[in-house]
Amino acid sequence: MIIKTYGVRGSTPTPDQQNMKFGGHTASYTIKTPANSLIFLDAGSGLRNAANKELSGEVERIFLVLSHTHADHTMGLGMSQLPYISYNPKFKNKKVSLVGPKKTLEGLTQFYSEQVWPVTPNEKEMPGLDYKVEEIEEGSLKIDEKTTMQVMRGNHPRDGVNLYRINSEKGSVVYATDCEFDYGQDKKPLEGKDALTKKYVEFIAKADVLIAEAQYTKEAYDKGAVHGWGHSYVEQIADLASLGWVKKLVVTHHDPANDDEKLLKMEKEARDYCKSKGYSLEVEFAREGLEYKL
Percent of the chain exceeding pLDDT 90 equals 97
Which pLDDT belongs to residue 57?
A: 87
Contacts of 88 (CB under 8 A, 6+ apart): 55, 81
Q: What 3-state class would DSSP assign to 251?
A: strand
Which pLDDT belongs to residue 92?
A: 80
If one counts every other C-beta atom within 10 angstroms of the C-beta of residue 18, the result is 13
C-alpha span between 163 and 176 (Å, rounded): 5
C-alpha span between 135 and 243 (Å, rounded): 30
Q: What 3-state class would DSSP assign to 149?
A: strand
CA 24, 29, 33 angle in degrees (round to 5)? Answer: 160
User: Which one, of 82, 43, 38, lies nearest residue 63 by Cα?
Assistant: 38
Residues 244-292: pLDDT tens digits?
999 999 999 999 999 999 999 999 999 999 999 999 999 999 999 999 9
Percent of the chain exceeding pLDDT 70 equals 100
In this predicted structure, the answer to whether residue 36 has a pLDDT above a threshold of 90 is: yes
If one counts every other C-beta atom within 10 angstroms of the C-beta of residue 77, the result is 28
CB 48 within 8 A of CB 77: no
Residues 92-148: pLDDT tens digits?
889 999 999 999 999 999 999 999 999 999 999 999 999 999 999 999 999 999 999
Range of the domain at 32: 2-293
Taking the whole predicted model, whether its pTM rises above 0.95 is answered as: yes
User: What total number of domains does the chain contain?
Assistant: 1
Which pLDDT belongs to residue 93?
A: 83
Taking each helix axis from N to C end, the angle separating 234-243 and 193-204, rounded to the nearest 10 degrees, works out to 60
CB 230 within 8 A of CB 179: yes
CA distances from 110 to 48, 87, 94, 103, 269 (A): 20, 24, 25, 10, 40
The length of the chain is 294
CB 10 within 8 A of CB 215: yes
What CATH number does residue 224 fall under?
3.60.15.10
